[in-house]
Amino acid sequence: MKYSEFFIPTQKEKSSDAKIKSHILMIKSGMIRQETSGIYSWLPLGFRILQKIIKIIEKFHEAAGVNQILMPTIQSADIWKQSDRYETYGKEMLRIIDRHEKELLYGPTNEEMVTVLAKSFIKSYKNLPRYFFHIQSKFRDEIRPRFGVMRAREFLMKDAYSFDLDEKSGEKTYLMFFKLYLKIFKELGINVIPVRAPAGEIGGNLSHEFHLIVESGESEIYLDESLISSDFNNYSIDDVMALSSYTDEFFKTNEIKLNLKKFKSIELGHIFLFGNKYSKSFNFFVDGEKDKFFPFMGSYGIGVSRIPAAVIESSNKKDGVIWPKNISPFSSIILNLDHKSDSVNKFCEEIYSSLKDDEIDILYDNRNERPGVKFSDAELMGIPLIIIIGKDYLNKQSITLINKYSNLEIDVPKSEAKNEIKRFIDELND
C-alpha cells in the first residue's frame, strides 16, 4: 500500500477527551474517530488491525470445529422476557420500539437468540455436541463511557456458544475453549492470565476471565505470582477449577483467605458454563437414547475491539505503539526521504514492487513531506521495520534498516537491499 492511497489522518495534538495512553495514541495515529460519547468509527489503519485480530480468532475457532454464523444485532424483547433477563439486565440494555409498537433491543449478548436458533434445528442427541461463533457489534448503554474503545457503548465482540449432552461433556468443551483462548492470545502476542470470575447476569456456576496485567488497567485481579509464568495448556478441568487467581469481585464476594498479590489488569475474554438455564427457559429439549433432555450450554466471549487498546496500554513508547508482529498494521514501511530525486524514487518503487510481489505487508511513504514528519508518523503507527532510502543512497549507494523491536540500525548496500530487507522481516517473524 502507498501512503498517498491510504487514508491515515494522523494528528499532532491529543484530543481533550483522551485521558489514557491507548485513547491518545489511537486518535493521534488515525486509527479511530470519536463520533459521540462511547461511539467510534474505525478508520483504515485501525480497521486493518481489527481484521488481523479477527483472522486469528477465526483461524483457531474453525480449526477447533466451531461453526461461524452471524446473528442480527437487533433482537426481539420477547425472547429476553422468556429468559427473565429483560428487566434484570438493567439500563445498559438499549431498548427500542418499532413502528408496529413491537419491543426490540440492541443485543448486549446472544444466549437467548442462539438457544432459539439451536432449538429450531437440533432435535437429537446425535446432533451434539455443536459449537457456534460469530463476530458482531454489541451495544451496552454505559453510564460513563470512558477510556476510548476500552469501555465504549458500541463494540466488536466474538461470541461462541456450545451445546452438549451433559455436564461432563460440557466441562470437556469448557476446557477446550479455555485452551483455545490461550492459543489465540499467544498468537496475538498477548500474555493473558485466566482468573476465576462470577457469572453475573449470564448465569451458571463456572466462569473464568482472561486478563492482561497492565498498570493502567481498570480491573483488579488477585493471584499467586507464580501463575504469571505458568503454562496452562496442560491443565485438566480440575486444575482449571482449582486456579488460585480471581477477579476482585469473586475474591471479595467469596472471602478468599489465600495470601495473593493484587494486580491492575484489562479483561479481554470471558467464558461461562451455565448448564441448561437457557435450554429450560425455552423448552429446548432433544431426543436422547432413552429419554428427552435439555442440552448443556456454555458461552465464550472475546472483546475484539478492546484488544488494540489493551496492547497499546501494555506496550508503548512516548511517541507511538509497539505492536506484536501478528497484528501490526504493516510489517514494514519505506520512507522516501528524497522525493525530488528520480533515482531515489525509482529505487523506492523497485523495492516496494519486489516486496509486494513476495506478499510482504508493506507501506510505502511516498508523500511530499519533510523527513521529520515521516519518521514521526512511522513511530506513531508502530510499524516494526523502517526502511530509509534517502541522500545516503545517492552518496553511498546504501539504505538504512531499523528494527523497532531491538532498536538495531544497520546500513545495507544497494546490491543487498532486497535480500537484507527480507531477512529482517523473517527475523521479526521468528
For 135-168, the pLDDT digits (tens) are 999 998 887 787 889 989 999 999 999 999 999 9
pLDDT at 70 over 80: yes
3-state helix, strand, coil in the chain (%, to 5): 40, 30, 35
Distance between CA atoms of residues 344 and 364, nearest Å? 13
Domain covering 332-429 assigned CATH 3.40.50.800 in the classification: yes
- Report the pLDDT averaged over residues 288-308: 96
* Whether 159 contacts 300, CB under 8 Å: yes
Q: Give residue 430's pLDDT.
A: 64
Q: Give residue 200's pLDDT.
A: 75
pLDDT at 299 over 80: yes
* Whether 173 contacts 164, CB under 8 Å: yes
Distance between CA atoms of residues 223 and 138, nearest Å? 30
First to last CA, the chain: 24
* Ramachandran angles phi, psi of 153, nearest 5°: -80, -35
Q: Give residue 342's pLDDT.
A: 93
118 closest CA partner among 258, 256, 282, 241: 282
- Per-chain mean pLDDT for the chain: 93
pLDDT at 318 over 80: no
Q: What strands lie across the sheet with 408-413, from one edge to the other?
A: 362-365, 332-336, 385-389, 398-403, 408-413
* Whether 347 contacts 396, CB under 8 Å: no
Fold agreement between 3-317 and 332-429? no
- Report the pLDDT averaged over residues 284-291: 95
pLDDT at 234 over 80: yes
- Report the pLDDT averaged over residues 16-21: 80
Residue 214, amino acid: V
* Whether 404 contacts 324, CB under 8 Å: no
- For β-strands 385-389 and 130-139, DSSP reports them as unpaired
- Report the pLDDT averaged over residues 247-259: 91
Q: Give residue 322's pLDDT.
A: 87
**Which fold does the domain 3-317 belong to in CATH?**
BirA Bifunctional Protein; domain 2 (3.30.930)
Structure letter (DSSP) for residue 127: G
pTM: 0.94
% the chain with pLDDT above 70: 99
* Whether 129 contacts 260, CB under 8 Å: no
Determine which of 12-26, 71-85, 185-199 has the lowest per-residue pLDDT on average: 12-26
* Ramachandran angles phi, psi of 85, nearest 5°: -105, -5
Distance between CA atoms of residues 195 and 241, nearest Å? 10
Q: Give residue 203's pLDDT.
A: 67
Digit-coded pLDDT (tens) for 112-132 = 999 999 999 999 999 999 999
105 closest CA partner among 92, 114, 115: 92
* Domain edges within the chain: 3-317, 332-429
Confidence of residue 330 (pLDDT cuts 50, 70, 90): very high
- Report the pLDDT averaged over residues 300-307: 97
The three-class DSSP label of residue 273 is strand
- Report the pLDDT averaged over residues 335-357: 93
Q: Give residue 405's pLDDT.
A: 87
* Whether 277 contacts 296, CB under 8 Å: no
* Whether 326 contacts 52, CB under 8 Å: yes
